[in-house]
Amino acid sequence: MTDVVLIDWGGGNIGSVRYALDRLGARAVLSADADTIANAPRVILPGVGAAAPAMQRLHELDLVQTIRTLEAPLLGICLGMQLLYESTEEGDVEGLGVLEGRIARIVAQPGVRVPHMGWNRLRRVRPSPLLDGIADGEWAYFVHGFAAPLGVDTLASSEYGGAFAAVVGRGRRFGAQFHPERSAATGQRLLANFLAMEAA
């Protein structure tokens, strides 16, 4: 029996996410099939790359409406999280729109190189089962040049040239801007928490 389906649109980190799930003993399936994704108990949208080709690929695979109407818990990772929003400054692209807001470019300034690459602290904003066992101030690994602003869906923030949303959630839709598959115990705990959520 499958625990989670990873949307196989070609995102660069899909192999490492699957390996992280394997280490947790999860039964993960890679799929680009709309029916498989629609009927999955939980779904992860991984992503490394640029927003425009990613959304184009999701349209080509006819997965946009499938993702928008999922009843199962959904977790977007890195670019996958950004695609959950209504739009992004990266290529002025329309996103999936399951979270409100627009992804903005991180502005380079003295001491702030773009992309943001490396370890940074998480600051808890509000409680969520996704963050159970993850203390305020724990470290996570980031690689990104765009970010979500703080908003009503922010579960945890981080700081890099200004505060941004590091973990978000609304209902059964969640996102992690950092890479849980590269974030040691913090990332493993977040993935384990997601896998523990009640299936569709």
Q: What's the distance, CA 86 to chain centroid?
A: 14
Q: Distance between CA 31 and CA 91 in Å, rounded?
A: 27
Query: Quick one: 37 exposed, middle or buried, by C-beta within 10 A (0-12, 13-18, 19+)?
Result: buried
Q: Which of 59, 144, 179, 198 is catalytic?
A: 179
Record the tokens describing residue 156, joined without a space. 């945890």
- State yes or no: is 179 an active-site residue: yes
Q: Which of 78, 116, 138, 144 is catalytic?
A: 78
- State yes or no: is 60 an active-site residue: no
Q: Distance between CA 18 and CA 26 in Å, rounded?
A: 9
Residues involved in catalysis: 78, 179, 181
